[in-house]
Amino acid sequence: MGDALDDALLAAGLLLVAAAATAAALCRDPARQAVLLSLLGLGLALLFTVLQAPDVGLSQLAVGSAVTPLMLLLTVRKVRRRKRHE
């Protein structure tokens, strides 16, 4: 029974990551894409934990859910501000 549950968790994590990645790739607005990318990071962290690699999950959490979206948003903000000045 435990194996079936492990498989179900693994399938759920994989589906979540696939869906989040597809949604992030199809999104055209960078600001909204940043939100989806952070969800993709959360999904990957879950997947790594289910695969018994919590150390990888920990770094994925820090990078994927915090640093990458923050850099994207700061870039978008800077570009928009420059456009407004011109």
Q: Contact between 44 and other proteins (CB under 8 A)?
A: no
User: Which token pair is 22?
Assistant: 């597809």
- Cβ-in-10-Å burial (0-12, 13-18, 19+) of 40 comes to buried
What are φ and ψ of residue 70, in 5° steps? -65, -45
The nearer residue to other proteins, 37 or 86, going by C-beta atoms, is 37
State how far the Cα of 54 lies from the Cα of 64, in Å rounded to an integer. Answer: 14
User: Which token pair is 17?
Assistant: 């990551």
Q: Contact between 86 and other proteins (CB under 8 A)?
A: no
Q: Contact between 25 and other proteins (CB under 8 A)?
A: no
Residues forming the site for other proteins (CB under 8 A): 1-2, 5-6, 8-9, 12-13, 16, 19-20, 23, 27, 31-32, 34-36, 38-39, 42-43, 45-46, 49-50, 52, 54, 57-58, 61-62, 65-66, 69-70, 73-74, 76-77
